[in-house]
Amino acid sequence: MRPGLEGAELTVENPYKIILASASPRRCELLSQIGLTFTVCPSRKEETAKAVGPGELVEELSWQKAADVFEMLTAERIQREGISGAPEIRPSLESVGKERFLVIGADTVVACGKEILGKPAGKEDACRMLEKLQGRSHFVYTGVTVIGQGEPTECFSFHERTRVDFYPMTSEEIEAYVKTGEPMDKAGAYGIQGRCAAFIRGIEGDYNNVVGLPVGRLYQEMHQRNLL
């Protein structure tokens, strides 16, 4: 995990231990940027969803990720306290101790026309996605779920939507960008904060939502519920 803003004093004192159910370096950077201290424990749950619309889809997937890690944290605590029957827990969760905790799950997709784009399956798929996005507008959806261990248990989900407008890209530009490897772990096969910035005409909405986590909305939702 990267440290917060260098030289800054912004640190959010939190009564909960925050667990990020994602290994995304971009989400880690964004949480650190707003001064939150957290532990990373990515969910390994296979993504399956029944939702059709992109907003409902990302909320459902973010819920699955947060719930998966929450269940592991709970089982870890049961095991530590000597209650029989607890399943095996990953060693990475041992640092949680007996503190109250909040698990944050997130998922991002791109919606272009009627097609929902996740991470590309390979270079050919990345080129196909970028060809579809170039020269037009699309929407980026990020769903967020927070599940908290406390009295009572706190659970909520939401999603944010941002419109992104692309400049036209030639086939040569698309192929050159895909060869950098940057698109391969990103929804829609591009990173707005990376080299693809050269092809972004503009956005309408939350920039951080496109990067992968609407931290402004997340902070406000947590603050309203006295979770910060």
| Other beta carbons less than 10 A from residue 19's beta carbon | 26
From 107, 125, 165, 206, the catalytic residue? 107
Do 186 and 119 contact (CB within 8 A), yes or no?
yes
20 pLDDT tier (thresholds 50, 70, 90): very high
When pLDDT is averaged across residues 59-85 and rounded to a whole number, the result is 74
CA distance 197 to 162: 16
44 pLDDT tier (thresholds 50, 70, 90): confident
DSSP secondary structure code for residue 156 in this structure: E
Task: Specify whether 125 is catalytic.
Answer: no
**Residue 118 scores a pLDDT above 70:** yes
Do 182 and 195 contact (CB within 8 A), yes or no?
yes
The pLDDT value given to residue 222: 92
| Other beta carbons less than 10 A from residue 223's beta carbon | 11
Q: What are the residue ranges spanned by the domains of the chain? A: 17-224
For strand 17-20 and strand 38-40, is the pairing parallel, antiparallel, or unpaired? parallel
This prediction has a pTM of 0.83
CA distance 71 to 76: 9
173 pLDDT tier (thresholds 50, 70, 90): very high
CA distance 228 to 225: 8
Residue 128 exposure: Cα atoms within 13 Å on the Cβ side:
11
The pLDDT value given to residue 208: 98
Return the CATH number of 17-224, one of 1.10.10.10, 2.40.30.70, 3.90.950.10, 3.30.70.2340. Answer: 3.90.950.10
The pLDDT value given to residue 153: 62
151 pLDDT tier (thresholds 50, 70, 90): low
**Residue 224 scores a pLDDT above 60:** yes
- How far from 61 is each of 78, 93, 133, CA to CA, in Å? 26, 22, 23
The pLDDT value given to residue 45: 80
